[in-house]
Structure 1
Amino acid sequence: MAERTTVRQDETYAGIARSEEFRGLRRRHRAFAFPWTIAFLAWYLLYVVCANWAPGFMSTKVAGKINVALVFGLLQFLSTFVIAFLYSRHARRRLDPVATELNARYEKAVNQ
């Protein structure tokens, strides 16, 4: 009995994974995740490169004892939160509705 259920689950999942809706869901996710990951890694690499090879620039005072390195470091945290917020909004609007529908289709097929 359990083996039959597992086979049904596997077949159902495989069918959903081949569907246009699922492929579209993956495309939407990748369209957001890949560019933002590359952008963040480039931004982080810029910070590391400047810290290692441009210490004069990084030690430039911005205001009082605050220098460019501190501003860059704080902006790393800010950019992380901004990207997380943007992803949350993207997922809620563009991914979650499709994923919910696909999950409902899966549950219905498996529980019949």
Structure 2
Amino acid sequence: MEKHDGRETAQPRAGDRGGLGDPWYDAPASGWGEWDGTGAPAPTVPAQPARRERSAAGVYLEVQRSAAFQEVRGRYRRFVVPATVLFFAWYLAYVVAATSAPALMARPVAGSVNVAMVAGLGQFASTFLLTWLYARHARLRRDRPALELRWDTQEMTRSIDDSVRMNGSAQSESGRR
């Protein structure tokens, strides 16, 4: 007889929002599973009651118009737009220099290494640097607020789903009588 701890048999079910396919599954939302420093779990905030006549599309529009969403988008744009312009200008300068100033690019720097080789390696280095900076910026300034928005949105849509399910079952019960 084999002993199993159940890990290899865990598979996500159809319609399962959490689980193995969700990259945010293990990340706690603010106030969920976090400790308040006294050894007791922090109190959780109760879900907001759902308003009548609310749809999932309305929830997403409400979230999109919220100040928290606009702040996350603003942080994203304040990093991405200047970084894209700077990186594109650096790449364009490299290409223009390579085509219009071959004598400059052929100038030796150290031994058989010339300016073109150093600039080409600089393109690779700047790509990796920009990728690292982007990931760091996202981790430090956008991931937590975006995760909180995601949890809030899921709670709002879940309350809609629950009210639709409850209303649908009530209607089906009254239709049987």
Same fold per TM (> 0.5)?
Answer: yes
For 1:20, give the aligned amino acid. A
The correspondence for 1:63, drawn from 104, 107, 110, is 110
Residues 10-45 of structure 1 show CA distances to partners (whole Å, capped at 9, x for unaligned) of 111100000001111111000000000000000000
SS class of match (1:62): strand
The DSSP-based 3-state class of the residue aligned with 2:109 is strand
Whether 1:77 aligns to 2:127 is no
Task: Name the CA distance, whole Å, in 1 between partners of 2:142 and 2:112.
Answer: 44
Unaligned stretches of 5+ residues in structure 2: 1-53, 160-177
Give aligned pairs, total: 106
Q: Does the alignment pair 1:29 with 2:76?
A: yes
Structure 1, unpaired ranges of 5+: 1-6
Corresponding residue number in structure 2 for 1:48? 95
Structure 1 segments, 4+ long, off by >4 Å, are none
Q: Which residue of structure 2 aligns with residue 17 of structure 1?
A: 64
User: What is the aligned partner in structure 1 of residue 151 from structure 2?
Assistant: 104
What TM-score comes out, normalization by structure 1 length? Answer: 0.92
Identity score, percent:
44
In structure 2, give the amino acid aligned to 1:64: G
- d(CA) in 2 for partners of 1:9 and 1:82? 39
Alignment RMSD (CA, Å): 0.9
| Max Rg structure | 2
2:152 and 2:102 map into 1 onto residues whose CA distance is 57
Q: Measure the CA separation in 1 of the matches of 2:56 and 2:116.
A: 53
**Aligned pair partner of 2:140 in 71, 75, 93:** 93
**Partners in 2 of 1:39 and 1:84 — Cα distance?**
13
In the TM superposition, residue 8 of structure 1 has moved relative to its aligned partner by 2.2
* 1:9 Cα deviation from its structure 2 partner: 1.9
Higher-helix-fraction structure: 1
Match of 2:3 in 1: none
Higher RCO (CA 8 Å, separation ≥ 6 residues):
1
- AA aligned to 1:102 is L
